[in-house]
């Protein structure tokens, strides 16, 4: 599927204070916009990129382009922005109509820390859902207030996500939604997700990146400088392993890798007994040196009775991302005589990739019998062992 990037850089950066618009300010040796652009220009899945700039900023823009390592032919002639971010996005979309990509990623120039994995997840999410925005869990409690700053309500934090960019969409439906909003004189959407929602497109949230901050206030620049200084970032690679066993019992199916597999036995377990997801969860927790699945989801806690193990794996991955880390690879070996893995392997890889927010090539799944030896050989139970490779910034390792 063809993918284009649309970088909105036409704002004035009034909240950031100081002189020139923030996207052209230099941050540790490069303009902010050059950092933002590089992430997209260097991504192999992105065909073309259009940057939307303010008409007054042509010189700044040209200077920025000259700082790129190799001025890229994949950058289209820039488009001009409008009064609001929404106008600027619409102008950028109009500039892409000849190209007519299948997917467009809309990104703020003011977010220079979007990483390749985030971009990959955005593309996958658009392929899968058609419209998706990256979100991170909220760590502060949020209040809804009234005109007198009185608290009206406290929404359930577990349902809230702080939304970032790149936001990912099928191109034509987004273009259509923007045109409709403009035709209805609606210009107050603060992100494209909200505009798409208004236009009736189902919008989903995929995993964002804690480090993908928007440079908005002066303090954000100080934070970004600190980070980049420390950051010719040293990554520490960690490998964790996990192992899980469940006994067979009454039943007609087993859950493996998040997929329901018909079988002449069931699994005896507190949760759904998915040994693949349990071993993977423990492997990630092992790499984080953060206890094991029982520490995070005690079997004594009735709320996990019959629980789908998807949430265990998703939680472990979230812990990695909360530490600005990256899950690089997940590898599992299933040990049993039956059921056979073969017919379900791809569906399981797909599901594990989906739960963990990874690409398919980052998920490996293998199986072996134990040559009729031991409890697996006698068909009394099933086991899985897993390895997870993650990277953490040295500071939090």
Ligand X SMILES: C[C@](O)(CO)[C@H](O)COP(=O)(O)O
Give 5's contacts (C-beta < 8 A, 6+ positions apart): 40, 46, 48, 49, 50, 104, 105, 107, 166
Return residues touching ligand X (CB under 6 A).
Answer: 85, 108, 163-165, 190-191, 214, 216
Q: How far is the CB of 10 from ligand X (least distance, A)?
A: 11
188 near ligand CTP, judged by CB under 6 A? no
C-alpha span between 59 and 55 (Å, rounded): 10
Determine whether the annotation assigns residue 332 to a binding site.
no
Q: What 8-state DSSP symbol labels residue 76? A: P
Measured distance CA(73)–CA(54) in Å, rounded: 21
Question: Which residue, 107, 69, 93, is CA-closest to 177?
Answer: 93
Q: Residue holding tokens 């303010």?
A: 54
Smaller CB separation from ligand X, 165 or 324: 165
Which of ligand X, ligand CTP, none does residue 35 bind (CB under 5 to 8 Å by kind)? none
Question: Was 371 annotated as part of a binding site?
Answer: yes
Q: Considering the rule CB under 6 A, would residue 10 count as an interface residue with ligand CTP?
A: yes
Q: Please tell me whether 278 is known to bind a ligand.
A: yes
Q: What are phi and psi of 305, to 5 degrees?
A: -60, 125
Number of residues that bind ligand CTP (CB under 6 A): 22
Q: Is 271 annotated as a binding residue?
A: yes
E strand or H helix that includes residue 243: strand 235-249
Q: Does 64 bind ligand CTP (CB under 6 A)?
A: no
HSE at residue 291, side-chain half, CA atoms within 13 A, is: 10
369 is annotated as contributing to ligand binding: yes
Binding to ligand CTP in span 142-181, by CB under 6 A: none
What residue 131 binds from ligand CTP, ligand X, none (CB within 5 to 8 A, per partner kind)? none
Task: Kindly give the pairing relationship between strand 381-393 and strand 235-249.
Answer: antiparallel
Residue corresponding to tokens 């009234």? 146
Q: Which is nearer to ligand CTP, 36 or 324 (CB)?
A: 36
Annotated binding site: 244-246, 270-271, 278, 292-294, 368-371, 375, 378
Annotated binding site for a divalent metal cation: 244, 246, 278
Which residues bind to ligand CTP, rule: CB under 6 A? 8-16, 23, 52, 81-85, 88, 108-110, 214, 216
């Amino acid at each position: 599927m063809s993918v284009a990037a649309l970088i909105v850089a036409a704002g004035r950066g009034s909240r950031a204070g100081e002189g020139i618009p923030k996207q052209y300010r230099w941050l540790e040796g490069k303009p902010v916009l050059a950092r933002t652009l590089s992430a997209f220009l260097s991504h192999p899945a992105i065909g073309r990129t259009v940057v939307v700039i303010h008409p007054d900023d042509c010189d700044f823009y040209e200077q920025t382009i000259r700082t790129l390592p190799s001025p890229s032919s994949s950058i289209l002639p820039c488009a001009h922005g409008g009064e609001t971010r929404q106008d600027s996005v619409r102008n950028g979309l109009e500039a892409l109509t000849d190209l007519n990509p299948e997917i467009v990623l809309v990104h703020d120039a003011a977010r220079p820390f979007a990483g390749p994995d985030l971009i990959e997840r955005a593309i996958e999410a658009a392929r899968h859902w058609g419209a998706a925005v990256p979100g991170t869990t909220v760590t502060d409690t949020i209040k809804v207030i009234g005109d007198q700053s009185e608290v009206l309500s406290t929404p359930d934090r577990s349902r809230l996500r702080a939304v970032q960019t790149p936001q990912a969409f099928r191109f034509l439906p987004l273009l259509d939604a923007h045109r409709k909003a403009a035709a209805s004189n609606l210009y107050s959407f603060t992100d494209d997700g909200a505009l798409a929602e208004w236009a009736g497109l189902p919008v989903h949230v995929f995993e964002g990146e804690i480090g993908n901050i928007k440079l908005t206030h002066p303090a954000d620049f100080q934070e970004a400088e600190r980070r980049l200084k420390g950051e010719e970032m040293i990554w520490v690679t960690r490998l964790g392993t996990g192992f899980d066993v469940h006994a067979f019992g009454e039943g007609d199916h087993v859950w493996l890798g998040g997929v329901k597999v018909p079988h002449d036995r069931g699994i005896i377990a507190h949760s759904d007994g998915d040994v693949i997801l349990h071993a993977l969860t423990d492997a990630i927790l092992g790499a984080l040196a953060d206890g094991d699945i029982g520490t995070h989801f005690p079997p004594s806690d009735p709320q996990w009775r019959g629980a789908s193990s998807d949430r265990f794996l998703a939680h472990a991955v979230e812990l990695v991302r909360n530490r600005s880390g990256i899950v690089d690879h997940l590898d599992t070996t299933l040990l049993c005589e039956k059921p056979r893995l073969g017919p379900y392997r791809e569906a399981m890889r797909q599901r594990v990739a989906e739960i963990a927010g990874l690409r398919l090539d980052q998920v490996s799944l293998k199986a072996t019998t134990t040559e009729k030896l031991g409890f697996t050989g006698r068909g009394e139970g099933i086991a899985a062992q897993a390895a997870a490779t993650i990277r953490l910034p040295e500071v939090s390792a």
